Structure 1
Amino acid sequence: MSALQTVILGVLPILWLLRRIFFPYLWQDFSYFFKLFRYAQNINRCLLKSSSFTILDIFLQQVSVRPDQNFILFQDQAYTYKDVDLKSNQMAWALKHHAKLNQGDCVAIFIGNEPAYIWIWFGLIKLGCPLACLNYNIRGKSFLHSFRTSGAKVLIAASELKHAVEEVLPTLKQQEVQVFYLSRESSTNGVESLTDKVEAASDKPIPKSYREDVNVKSIAVYIYTSGTTGLPKAAIVSHGRLLGSGFFQNLIGITPKDVIYMPLPLYHSAALLIGIRGCIQQGACCVLKTKFSVSQFWNDCRKYNVTAFQYIGETMRYLCNTPKKDNDKDHKVRIALGNGIRADVWKEFVHRFGNIKICELYASTEGNVSFYNYAGKAGTIGRYNYFQKRLRPFEIIKYDVAEDEPVRDPSGHCVRVARGETGLLIGKIFERSPFSGYAGDQSYTEKKKLRNVFKDGDLYFNTGDLLVVDREGFIYFQDRVGDTFRWKGENVATTEVSDIVGMTDFIKEANVYGVAVPNHEGRIGMTSIILKEGKEFDGKKLYSNVSDNLPSYARPRFVRIQDAMETTDTFKHRKVNLVKDGFNPLTIKDPLFFLDDSEKTYKPLDLQIYNNILQYTLKL
């Protein structure tokens, strides 16, 4: 053996040891970046061949490769890739003929989870038309605002939501909106049926000429998200962004043999853009559920031979809170993909239900920053990956929660946080990492942009999320900032809720915020109010107002009556101290009330109710 070989053999173990000590996650970091880079390169190669390449091309490729493989399972119905292709053709022809759709015309959909959602979406893609995914919980003012924002001239609604449609129908008809029920007949004057027209339509392919101008920058979908502006905002999802959203299921190892359980609403990007879109990318099968059910979850997994499912943090906690059974590990699930799971719930879930790979991710519909916990460390959303940061730059900056704005140094620039310090996540906006913004009022888009962040002229996207990075480089989600909090997997805009609460005739002023509840994910709604002079609190009247105008997850569960509101120097409501106080009747001297659905009122919050909430005997 030569002297050189001897040196090399002696140095290699030392290098290996140094890497383990100082860079223990180096190979995982590089592997994740390489997979991300390779996926992006594959998409780019397809775009070089055709600038009009979209998710439709990927879907049609799967149809040609596996026409008879199940794509959608729903209740006792099964639809193959070919079935969905043909049904989307029928939908396209029916809408083309009866709604007179042309390329670029937007159609709003107002239905729950069902297979027709998928072939409506693909029928519209075949016509070159964007889809606006309305939240089926919205009503009245929120409904009209969301619909108008998309610029849609056609509405497709589920017949079981006819009362919500009829409430706004006069306004829609004034705007010459064409309204269809997804049914074979309609009992509402001014609303047409659609299912019968689809069944009578041809299933022949749609000519490419109908979508000839569609490219990666064309709008594919509008997904609604609540933010600091109050009412829902229509986030613009381009066809290019849609192509990129298939990455997560590719990354975690989903194959055509997998069966993915989908209990999340399709109007959310998690279900539509990551779930359904990811299934198409991998050629997998999706079990579509109308809504999440704790009691049916594992039975469904066994019935459909589910191998993977999507979750939000609440999903996992609900499952862990069910009574233990002997068959808890009797299933084929190997992967769970989602976001928002706490470290303690993560560990309890795996211990109880078996060796299921938890794939925690961080992303937002409109954002240009995403993370994936590829290292599998419980409680984290990912790692501060140097390679990824070079590809799509992001930063975590100091944020003044009380003033609700980034901290600026004397030169007017933002300040990066140190490791272990909580800060605001921002993503650099440039060609490789765009921010498409929102439809409608451009002030919505501008409010999400941060300018002159580290130097004059640079531009970043404000995620509105506070994160912290530990010494090992693991990233942890801390909280949301501003006027939005998350409850039951939904974003709740405090401005919108405040407007509704303030409509009650005895309330002078309302300040809505989210408070933490032990053993619950996210924050639940609470409002501090000031009564009008000479008026008394009326629990039944407030209940009637919020139940008529807000979805259940957005209704404030707690009310605090104050004599005066704390405000900032710019007269904005301060929420920090209210959030810290929570809803504890032992420490809060102000009158407190609790929303009681059984009695349809807000009743005094006493110690017994408070203890029942903490002991989880009273479910929220």
Structure 2
Amino acid sequence: MLGWDDLYPLPVPPSWVPGAAVGILSLHFVQKLLFPYFWADLRYLLKVMTYGLRMEMYRLQGRVVTVLDKFVKLAEKQPHKPFLIYEGTVHTYRDVDRRSNRIAQVFLQHEALKKGDTVALLMGNEPDFIHVWFGLAKLGCVVAFLNFNVRFRSLLHCVSSCEPKILVVGAGRVYSSFLHPKLLMFIGNVVYRYFIYRFSLRNALMHYFDFITGLPKAAVISHLQILKGAAGLWAFGATSEDIIYITLPLYHSAASLLGIGGCIELGATCVLKKKFSASQFWSDCRKYNVTVIQYIGELCRYLCNQPAKEGEKNHKVRLAVGNGVRNDVWREFLDRFGAVKICEFYGATEGNICFMNHTGKIGSVGRTNFFYKLFFPFDLIKYDFQKDEPIRNKHGWCEKVKKGEAGLLISKVNAKNPFFGYAGNKRHTEKKLLCEVFKKGDLYFNTGDLMVQDHDNFLYFWDRIGDTFRWKGENVATTEVSDVIAMLDFIQEANVYGVSVPDHEGKAGMASLILKHNASLDLEQMYKQVVTYLPSYACPLFLRIQEKMEMTGTFKQQKFRLVDEGFNPSAITDPLYFLDNSKKAYILLTKELHEMILSGKMKL
């Protein structure tokens, strides 16, 4: 009797099928072994190319598409969707659109602002920051975001650098020392103070101010750069359904471009916080069902330093986007607060290079490969720390470092990766460019950052060169601090630098001082001087009194040995002092106090 198999025999696979299956499995095994990040890199590269093609299509069509254009379309498409949530109040896309229209009309009627005029904005985190920003943008104005922490000469320098027609000052931030009080207008809780004189106009699209070296500089930001920054959250996997929590100051590009701009790019909702609060952070996330948070390294450390509580993983946050988090804090953050994907990135406001850690590799700021360098050419070159300049060989060319070695990050400047420079200061713009690096006629942007590339092509931030360091998430210019201290009549010379403090991101400010002949140190006057004229993050935490200032061979202040020696009174014979904020005074740095700082018992 015939069986089923006899009547309907199973088809015999061709002889090549088993071999093909083995080949595919072998290729998969080889890919996992030799190219473990292939698919992650491919997905990320496709996202970058997709966005790049979209930008190229806009260019070919002769269209100038801005973040504001996208917002206006969203206000029509989803008018009732929450755009901003601030202190429990919901502002829909339509609300923000209409409010910004009214503010635009006020500026148009009372000051006759026109396209191309520059307006400086000095405000904290509040909805009216965005209303004013969008309202001015609708008039075609250039908006310069000012860091509200800077004071006196630095603030005057910021204002004069961008040459605004009007300065908009938030409520409670009136600087009567240089503003004429004659003209006042109130719109909501925003105070508008107008200069009684006018400045010439500039063609920059947008400025962002930050401490880099010397006085703050105004970085020119194009609409293309804003669009690229706004795509960051999307590139990391955020969607229109996400709720983004922003506690960083809006004058920073991280909050304004990546945060607000990213929210618009997605059509998502943003929860805006007036000021970061470690104790309220997770309760806010639970209250507003936050799914994406923005961070800097200090923010993560503050959260990890909070007393442990039950239910710390009870939240909906799935992505954390930012930069500057240390490896140990990264690991502790994941252990304490659950499976949050840390999306570290690297980029400067005015720069033309960006890295994104799309794989989640702990400690890395991003990853590169052949295709990425094809679109965004960069290199790490050897640097002379004593001369404070790139090393050039006998032929005059710079040399690349080997993998695993720290080198200065430079990015090629071309039509697709331009550098727009700084407003009102050609010299500062030229200082950020390196000419004839590897061959005649080439041009590179000098990031001022040292980085390391490992053998798996992951990139790690190493340090910052030159007269600047980061503290409390802000850039501190050593020359700016030195100038303020040198104004004191008992100071002959001040050498400012940053020193590492265990379990703290960045470097704390320290000033080595030379007193004038027959003068004595007035600690009370020193305290008043720095807190009056400097932002809190720029005030030196440590003072060191020396008899003479060491100089380099090129007659610059010697910093390297001082940085290495740090602030240990057991190893330094010079008198040391510490800025005790609780006592509002500089006090003698004893061995006991030094131990309290190292153990974390003394808050910095």
Q: Structures share a fold, TM > 0.5?
A: yes
Residue of structure 2 equivalent to 1:196: none
* Cα distance in 2 between the residues matched to 1:218 and 1:187: 23
Residue of structure 2 equivalent to 1:138: 150
User: Is the Cα contact below 8 Å between 2:169 and 2:192 reproduced in 1?
Assistant: no
Task: Render the CA deviation track for 1:527-581: whole Å, top value 9, x for unaligned.
Answer: 1010100011111011111111001000001001111112122211121111111
Q: How does 1:553-592 map to 2 (within 5 A)?
A: 553-592=537-576
Selected match of 2:440 from 456, 461, 477: 456
Residue of structure 1 equivalent to 2:113: 101
* Cα distance in 1 between the residues matched to 2:584 and 2:68: 48
* Cα distance in 1 between the residues matched to 2:34 and 2:18: 25
* Cα distance in 2 between the residues matched to 1:501 and 1:130: 34
Residue of structure 1 equivalent to 2:206: 221
Residue of structure 2 equivalent to 1:120: 132
1:184/1:528 Cα in 2 relative to 1: closer, same or farther (>3 Å)? closer
Selected match of 2:355 from 360, 371, 386: 371
Task: Render the CA deviation track for 1:486-533: whole Å, top value 9, x for unaligned.
Answer: 000100011111110111111100110011100101001001010100
* Cα distance in 1 between the residues matched to 2:56 and 2:69: 14
Selected match of 2:217 from 233, 237, 242: 233
Cα distance, 1:7 vs. partner?
4.4
* Cα distance in 2 between the residues matched to 1:133 and 1:268: 8
* Cα distance in 2 between the residues matched to 1:180 and 1:313: 39
Worse-superposed segment, 376-385 or 5-14: 5-14
User: Is the Cα contact below 8 Å between 1:361 and 1:372 reproduced in 2?
Assistant: yes
Structure 1 residue 51 corresponds to structure 2 residue 63: yes
* Cα distance in 1 between the residues matched to 2:168 and 2:552: 44
* Cα distance in 1 between the residues matched to 2:261 and 2:18: 53
Worse-superposed segment, 600-609 or 257-266: 600-609
Q: How does 1:535-614 map to 2 (within 5 A)?
A: 535-614=519-598
1:434 partner SS: coil
* Cα distance in 2 between the residues matched to 1:218 and 1:259: 35
Amino acid at match of 1:78: V
1:400/1:74 Cα in 2 relative to 1: closer, same or farther (>3 Å)? same
1:122/1:501 Cα in 2 relative to 1: closer, same or farther (>3 Å)? same
Amino acid at match of 2:170: A
1:89 partner SS: helix
Structure 1 residue 385 corresponds to structure 2 residue 397: no
Residue of structure 2 equivalent to 1:214: none
2:177 partner SS: helix
Cα distance, 1:5 vs. partner?
4.4
- The unaligned stretches of length 5 or more in structure 2 are 1-12, 197-201
Selected match of 1:351 from 321, 328, 335: 335
Task: Render the CA deviation track for 1:405-458: whole Å, top value 9, x for unaligned.
Answer: 111111111110000000011100000101111001100100000111100110
* Cα distance in 1 between the residues matched to 2:601 and 2:234: 41
Structure 1 residue 21 corresponds to structure 2 residue 25: no
Cα distance, 1:276 vs. partner?
0.3
* Cα distance in 1 between the residues matched to 2:395 and 2:220: 34
Normalised TM-score (structure 1): 0.92
Residue of structure 1 equivalent to 2:199: none
Amino acid at match of 1:144: L
1:219 partner SS: coil
* Cα distance in 2 between the residues matched to 1:547 and 1:521: 22
Selected match of 2:397 from 367, 390, 413: 413
Residue of structure 2 equivalent to 1:195: none
Amino acid at match of 2:405: E
Residues paired across the two proteins, number = 587
1:579 partner SS: helix
* Cα distance in 1 between the residues matched to 2:578 and 2:190: 43
Residue of structure 1 equivalent to 2:272: 288
Cα distance, 1:245 vs. partner?
1.2
Amino acid at match of 2:44: Y
1:182/1:235 Cα in 2 relative to 1: closer, same or farther (>3 Å)? farther
Structure 1 residue 254 corresponds to structure 2 residue 235: no
Structure 1 residue 309 corresponds to structure 2 residue 293: yes
2:225 partner SS: helix
Deviating runs (4+, > 6 A) in structure 1? 184-188
CA RMSD for the aligned pairs?
1.9
1:466 partner SS: strand
User: Is the Cα contact below 8 Å between 1:359 and 1:374 reproduced in 2?
Assistant: yes
Residue of structure 1 equivalent to 2:247: 263
Task: Render the CA deviation track for 1:42-61: whole Å, top value 9, x for unaligned.
Answer: 22223434423211211112
* Cα distance in 1 between the residues matched to 2:532 and 2:222: 34
* Cα distance in 2 between the residues matched to 1:421 and 1:320: 31
1:148 partner SS: helix
Task: Render the CA deviation track for 1:174-218: whole Å, top value 9, x for unaligned.
Answer: xxxx77565579799x789xxxxxxxxxxxxxxxxxxxxxxxx96
